Chains A and B, each alone.
Chain A
C-alpha cells in the first residue's frame, strides 16, 4: 500500500520508512515561524522554566504582522518582547516593520517554504504553505515553544481526504470560490484532524498564488493541513527564491484516502460566505444586492499581487460607491512594490480606496478597519465568526477580490462578471 504526500513527509521527518494514519510520531521541524501575538507568550513560558534556548537560529523565521506597526501601548510591549528575544539569541531571520508582511504571504515569497519540508507557526493559517508541497500546520504557543526549544513536535499522523478539482474555472470564478464551495459542502468541521489534499486539472492550471488561497482555508474546514503535490510551477517558484536543495515528494497512486471528493469546477459561480461561519456559502446571485458598509481586500488569503491585479482591473477608471469604504492591504513589501510599479496603487487611490501597509490588522478585528455594531463588511479574508472584525454585532461576508471590488463600486454585493 502506498503513502500520501503527507504520510511520506511525516515518515521522513520521524526517521521512519512508513507511517500510517493514527500513528503517534515525533517529527523534526524544518522551519518554525514566529509572529507578534503567539510568540511572546511562548518565549515567556520558556524563560519561566529555565528553557530559554533556540534549537537552531537558522530555522527560526520571525515576522511580526498582527498588531504592527504597534496599534497601542500593549501591542508595542508585545512587539518589544519579540524583538528583545530575537536580539538575545542572535536570530538573523527577523523581518522588522518595513521589511515585514502578512507572515503567510511573506514566508514563501522569501523562500522559506520548500517542498517536502515541515513548517509550524503559532497561527492557524499556517496550512497555507502546503500549496508548495510541504507539511505545514498551525499550533498554539506551547507547541511553538517546544518547537523553538527542541526542533521537534509530536503529531498524530492524519488521515487524508482527496479533493479532485476537475473541469475548468469560468470567467469571474477564482480559487477563493473553489475553497468557499468546498467548505460549504463539507462544513467547518468536515475535515476535522484531516489532511486536505487538493489535486486535479484545476490545481495544475492555477498559479502558485491562487493555490495558496485554497490551502490557506483548510483550517476553516477543521483541517490539520492543506497540501498539493508539487509540480514544475512549484519547483520554479521555490528555485527563484531559495538556494537550498529540496526533494519533491508526491502521493503514490495506491495511497489510501479516507474519502475522495470530486468537485466540478466548471459548474462553480462566484461565492459569498454569509455570517457567521465560512461554511455559510451562497452563490453571488443569491447574495446580490445586500448593502455593505466596508470592503476589505487583503490578508494571507487574498492580499497577494495577483489578487490586487484582479481588483484593480475592475476598479480601473471608476470610483467606489459614495456610501462605502474600501480598504486595500497589500500583503508584503514585494507585493506593494509590484502594485506601485504596475500602477495598481494609483488605480485604488483614484477609485477612492484607502491603501494601507502590510498588516493582519482588521482581518482579526485588531485595527486599521475595525467594524462598529451593525456594520457589514465584504472581505477577502478567511473567517467571518461573530466579532471577527470588530463588534460582536457586526457582520463579515467572505468573497474573492473580484467580488469585493465589484461590490465596492456599487455599495452592495455584486456579481463581478457585470464588470468583466
Chain B
C-alpha cells in the first residue's frame, strides 16, 4: 500500500470534524466522501489523490460513534489512517469494515506532510520512501485480520 502522507499533528481529531453532523442525513459513501475532514480542512478532498494516507496524533476519531467517518475517508480514497492512538469506537468501526487503522507510536515526527509511504500491513512496517526510514508498528491481532479477510464483520458472521 503506497501513498502520500497528509499529516495532522493535532490530537483528538473527532468524528464531528471528520464528517460534520449536518451531513449525517447521507449514508452513501461516494456522497459522504465529498465532505471528508471538512471541519478540520475544508480543502482536504481537493488536495488528496486516491491512495493517500492520513497520519494523525493521539485519539484519532474520538467523539460520536458515527461510522460515517470511516465511510467518508474510505470513499474519498484515503487508503488507511496511521495515528499515535485511536479512539475506541472509530477503531472498532475500522476493524469491522476491514479498513486499516494503524496504531503507530512515534509516527508524528517521523513522517512529514507530503512524504511518500509504503506500508506492509502483515509485516507491521511503514517505509518512509522520502526519508529512507523504516517505521515499525505492532501488526494487527489475528481476529482483526480474520475480519478483514472475510470482507468485514458482517461477512464474517453471515450464516
Residues of A within 8 A of B (CB): 24, 37-38, 40-41, 44-46, 49-51, 66-67, 72, 74-75, 77-78, 122-124, 126, 138-143, 145-146, 149-150, 154, 188-189, 192-193, 219, 222, 224, 277, 364-366, 383, 385-388, 392
Contacts and interface: CB of A to CB of B under 8 A. Distances in A.
A77 B27 CA distance: 11
Contacts of A139: 65, 89, 92
B25 A192 contact: no
Contact of A277 (B12, B27, B96, B158): B12
Contact of B66 (A38, A50, A383): A38
B59 A192 contact: yes
Interface string B1-42: 000000000011010110011101111000000000001100
Instruction: Name which of B26, B63, B87, B153 has the most chain A CB atoms within 10 A of its CB.
Output: B63
Given A41-B27, A140-B70, A385 B154 contact: no
B92 A140 contact: yes
Contacts of B63: 124, 219, 383, 385
Contact of B62 (A38, A150, A189): A189
Contacts of A141: 67, 93
Given A44-B27, A154-B143, A222-B88, A123 B97 contact: no
A75 B152 CA distance: 27
Nearest to A49: B154
A72 B25 CA distance: 9
A161 to B, nearest CB: 14
Interface residues of B, number: 39
A15 to B, nearest CB: 17
A142 B93 contact: yes
Given A38-B65, A139-B89, A386 B17 contact: yes
Mostly, the A contact residues are loop
A3 B125 CA distance: 38
B64 A364 contact: yes
Contacts of A219: 63, 89
A387 B20 contact: yes
A365 B21 contact: yes
B113 interface: no
A387 B96 CA distance: 27
Interface string B148-159: 000011110110
A11 to B, nearest CB: 19
A277 B10 CA distance: 13
A359 to B, nearest CB: 13
Contacts of A51: 154, 158
B58 interface: yes
A176 B12 CA distance: 22
Given A38-B65, A124-B63, A142 B88 contact: no
B79 interface: no
A124 B27 contact: no
B20 A365 contact: yes
Instruction: Name which of A126, A193, A388 has the most chain B CB atoms within 10 A of its CB.
Output: A388
11 contacts: A46-B154, A51-B154, A123-B64, A124-B64, A142-B153, A189-B12, A192-B88, A222-B88, A364-B21, A365-B21, A392-B39
B154 A142 contact: yes
Contact of B21 (A45, A193, A366): A366
B78 to A, nearest CB: 17
Interface string B86-108: 01110011001100000000000
